[in-house]
Structure 1
Amino acid sequence: MINLDPVIERIDALLDEDTDQSVTYAALEARLALERVCYDRLRQRHDYISHEQLRRWQPGAVVNTLIKEVDEHLGKTLTLSISKSPARPGVKLEDEEYVEVGTEIGFNPKKIAKLWNALAKLALHAHLPEHRNDDIPAYGDRARIRAKVKEVQSELRRLAKGTMTFSGLGEEVKFECSCGELNKRRAGLLRDGQHVHCFNPECKQTWKVTREDDGFGFEQVTVPVNCEACSAANHMPWRFFLDMKHDQVGSFSCHSCRHKNYVQWRLMQVHREGGKETQADT
Structure 2
Amino acid sequence: MNYRDVARGCLIRASAMLPSNSEEILRYAALELRQCLECLIYERAWCYKSVLSNDDLKEWQPSRLIKRLLEIAPYADKGVRLTMASTEDENDIIMDETERVLSRKELSKHYHKIGSYLHASFNNDLEPIALNTTSVNKTLERLSILLDEVINSPIAKLVPKAGLFTFDCKKCGERVGCEPDYTVSEFNLHCSNSKCSASYEITFDAVNHQLNYRPDKVSATCANKDCLNPVSIWQRDIKHGNTFTCGKCGLLNIIG
Determine the C-alpha separation between the residues in 1 that align with 2:93 and 2:183.
35
Pick one of 139, 143, 146 that aligns with 2:137: 146
SS of residue in 2 equivalent to 1:210: strand
Matched residue type, 1:150: E
Give the aligned partner of residue 156 of structure 1: 147
Determine the C-alpha separation between the residues in 1 that align with 2:254 and 2:133.
56
TM-score, with structure 1 as normaliser: 0.64
Residues 5-84 of structure 1: pairs in structure 2 closer than 5 A: 5-15=8-18, 18-48=21-51, 59=62, 63=66, 66=69, 69-70=72-73, 72=75, 74-79=77-82
Show CA shifts across 1:64-109 (max 9, x none). Answer: 66456415364225447697xxx6xxx45x2578579x97423444
The runs of 5 or more residues in structure 1 that have no matched partner are 269-282
**Is this contact kept in 1: 2:85–2:92, CA < 8 A?**
no
Determine the C-alpha separation between the residues in 1 that align with 2:81 and 2:99.
5
Determine the C-alpha separation between the residues in 2 that align with 1:261 and 1:205.
20
Give the aligned partner of residue 188 of structure 2: 195
Question: CA 1:210/1:6 → structure 2, altered by over 3 Å: closer, same or farther?
Answer: same
Question: CA 1:169/1:104 → structure 2, altered by over 3 Å: closer, same or farther?
Answer: farther
Report how many residues are paired. Answer: 246
Matched residue type, 2:248: S
1:165 and 2:157 are equivalent in the alignment: yes
Show CA shifts across 1:236-262 (max 9, x none). Answer: 3244567xxx98xx76543334x2637
Determine the C-alpha separation between the residues in 2 that align with 1:252 and 1:125.
49
Question: CA 1:167/1:255 → structure 2, altered by over 3 Å: closer, same or farther?
Answer: farther
Choose 1 or 2 for highest CA Rg.
1
Determine the C-alpha separation between the residues in 2 that align with 1:171 and 1:28.
37
1:2 and 2:4 are equivalent in the alignment: yes
1:135 and 2:138 are equivalent in the alignment: no
Give the aligned partner of residue 217 of structure 1: 212
Give the aligned partner of residue 231 of structure 2: 234
Determine the C-alpha separation between the residues in 2 that align with 1:63 and 1:182.
18
Structure 1 position 206, deviation (Å): 0.8
Structure 1 position 46, deviation (Å): 3.3
Structure 1 position 27, deviation (Å): 1.1
**% identity of equivalent residues:** 19
Determine the C-alpha separation between the residues in 2 that align with 1:16 and 1:26.
10
1:124 and 2:115 are equivalent in the alignment: no
The runs of 5 or more residues in structure 2 that have no matched partner are none
Question: CA 1:235/1:31 → structure 2, altered by over 3 Å: closer, same or farther?
Answer: same
TM-score, with structure 2 as normaliser: 0.70
The alignment yields a C-alpha RMSD, in angstroms, of 4.3
Matched residue type, 2:38: E
Question: CA 1:75/1:186 → structure 2, altered by over 3 Å: closer, same or farther?
Answer: closer
Show CA shifts across 1:144-199 (max 9, x none). Answer: 22221111111122222135312237844455543566654333357344211246
**Is this contact kept in 2: 1:66–1:72, CA < 8 A?**
no
Matched residue type, 1:206: S
